[in-house]
Amino acid sequence: MAHEPRASDDLGRRLKAYEGQAAAVSAVGKDPVNAPMIRHWCEAMGDTNPAYTGPDAIAPPTMLQAWTMGGLSGHTGRSSAYDELLTLLDESGCTSVVATDCEQEYVRPLRPGDEITFDAVIESVSDRKTTKLGTGYFVTTRMDIRVGPDLAGTHRFRILKYAPAQRKQGPQQELTRRNRPPRPRPVINRDNAGFWEGVRERRLLIQRCTACSTLRHPWLPGCAACGHPEWDTVEASGTGEVYSYVVMHHPPFPAFDPPYAVALIELTEGVRMISNVIGVPYDEVRIGMSVRLAFEEYDGELVLPVFRAFRAEESRVAIEGRPV
């Protein structure tokens, strides 16, 4: 890991100003400490310690963070300072994140029925560091977990927010089209055969329930909305946007050239499907990016639907030679 000169790091000084600011204030655990979650944890970890069962059970100390997690709805006690810090990093190009480590201190055991509250603070922001992943900043938050007025434990969590490094191709990535293994073939059955027939014809077909007109993807034998078994199809317009995405680095697959972006595309019709985004480097793919359907041929016989990124000012983009 390389240390960057502090004198040239104007962004670092702006980030340092967030040290000591609250990340969460008087947040409340979504659930009391409870036996079912303790049991699930112990089963997943293979932990058979008898201290975690019975009428006098305690929660495994390492579950400390689990009682603070907000789920999809988040916590109302979260402050704006932490979001502002992450936004500043995103805007500076540090759009990737990896959790690096955590430290926990245990003051008293948690028992079923305990209701926890917690406060969190932005404890430190490192100077700019260059790692093999890229250049960015380590951000450490400290969370104090309490039961009533009593401190139960402290949880420190450290992440690296970084701008991904451009990687040079190694010998394993320099396979030519001639000797590269073929791409995996889709599994085609009676439920999805119509979809792949449409793809071969360079049409993206969406199932539609003939009873309630609900569109669905992936293809299913019946409607999840009303249960009706009958359906027909509509052809997708070919426009949509990136709803979510990941960048694949590992594990490597011989038929692919990592890193590459795998995206969840929300079509204009409202359904979502997983595909590749082409036309831009993997590290320029963004949530909300506009895309248009294209069909790519691989290994001389396999046709797959992919999505090409395009700029809003482009008035006409061709899909397989057809203007849209």
Q: Could you read off the pLDDT of 191-239 as tens digits, one per residue?
A: 999 999 999 999 999 999 999 999 999 999 999 999 999 999 999 999 9
> Using the 8-state DSSP alphabet, how is residue 228 labeled?
-
* pLDDT tier, 256 (very low <50, low <70, confident <90, very high otherwise): confident
Q: Provide the pLDDT for residue 79.
A: 85
- Please identify which residue in the block is written with the tokens 């008898």: 50
Rounded to two decimals, the pTM is 0.54
Contacts of the segment 261-267: beta carbons below 8 A, 24+ positions apart: 261/285, 263/291, 263/307, 265/240, 265/241, 265/291, 265/307, 266/240, 266/241, 266/242, 267/206, 267/217, 267/236, 267/237, 267/239, 267/240
Please check the confidence at residue 43 and state whether its pLDDT lies above 70: yes
* pLDDT tier, 316 (very low <50, low <70, confident <90, very high otherwise): very low
pLDDT in tens, 101-153: 999 999 999 999 999 999 999 999 999 999 989 999 999 999 999 999 999 99
Classified as helix, coil or strand, 75 is: coil
pLDDT in tens, 45-93: 999 999 999 999 999 999 999 999 988 887 777 889 999 999 999 999 9
Instruction: For residue 14, give both structure tokens.
Output: 């702006």
Q: Please give the helix or strand (H or E) that residue 289 lies within, else none.
A: none
pLDDT in tens, 261-300: 999 999 999 999 999 999 999 999 999 999 999 999 988 8
The percent of residues in the chain predicted with pLDDT above 70, rounded, is: 90
What is the DSSP track for 237-270?
-SEEEEEEEEEE-SS--TTS-SSEEEEEEEETTS
Q: Provide the pLDDT for residue 76.
A: 78
Going through the chain in order, the beta strands assigned E by DSSP cover 2-3, 22-28, 96-106, 116-125, 129-130, 134-147, 150-164, 205-209, 215-216, 231-235, 239-248, 260-267, 272-278, 290-298, 302-309, 318-319, 322-323
Domains of the chain: 2-164 (3.10.129.10), 187-323 (2.40.50.840)
Cβ atoms of residues 89 and 137 within 8 Å: yes
Please check the confidence at residue 159 and state whether its pLDDT lies above 60: yes
Which one-letter amino acid corresponds to residue 41? W
